[in-house]
């Protein structure tokens, strides 16, 4: 079985099991083994009351695709939080909004590695736009701006 196929199978299992296995404050964060800013985002989530388990992987792109996130809007890392997919350095206000409102979407993504976002250095140059990840895959409109 190819590594990509293994990653897709793993992502499918994780996405289907996430609601049953995790509580609202439990986060599983998948990241590239070499990435330090993802550790910064994990610390940020911990500082905001979440229990974070970090899992390094070389299959992040394939896992993000399996979660329905197109390549051009994938974030730096992939988190599973209470049945939702959260891709990238998404601020806590948007995470809390997602968990409170419980919209009928798969999750949200903050594409790339925006400077000044939680876990990233630099100065924030404007509001971050978190995009909806549709249950059918792909992205919808802007879910939140912070």
Query: What pLDDT, in 10s, does the model give residues 83-134?
Result: 999 999 999 999 999 999 999 999 999 999 999 989 899 999 899 999 999 9
The reported pLDDT for the residue numbered 20 is 41
Confidence of residue 145 (pLDDT cuts 50, 70, 90): very high
The reported pLDDT for the residue numbered 127 is 95
19-50: buried (b, 16+ CB within 10 Å) or exposed (e) per residue? eeebeeeebbbbbbeebebbebbbebbeeeeb
The reported pLDDT for the residue numbered 119 is 87
Q: For residue range 2-20, what is the model confidence (pLDDT) as tens digits?
A: 555 554 445 554 554 444 4
| Rounded average pLDDT over 26-39 | 90
The reported pLDDT for the residue numbered 8 is 47
Alpha carbon distance 69, 90 (integer Å): 15
């Amino acid at each position: 079985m190819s590594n990509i196929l293994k990653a897709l199978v793993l992502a499918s299992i994780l996405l289907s099991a996430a609601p049953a296995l995790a509580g609202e404050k439990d986060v599983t964060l998948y990241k590239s083994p070499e990435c330090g800013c993802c550790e910064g985002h994990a610390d940020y989530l911990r500082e905001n009351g979440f229990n974070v388990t970090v899992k390094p992987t070389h299959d992040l792109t394939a896992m993000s695709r399996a979660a329905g996130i197109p390549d051009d809007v994938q974030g730096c890392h992939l988190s599973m939080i209470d049945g939702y997919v959260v891709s990238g350095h998404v601020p806590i206000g948007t995470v809390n909004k997602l968990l409170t409102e419980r919209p009928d979407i798969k999750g949200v993504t903050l594409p790339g590695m925006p400077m000044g976002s939680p876990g990233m250095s630099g100065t924030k140059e404007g509001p971050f736009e978190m995009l909806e990840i549709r249950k059918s895959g792909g992205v919808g409109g802007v879910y939140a701006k912070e």
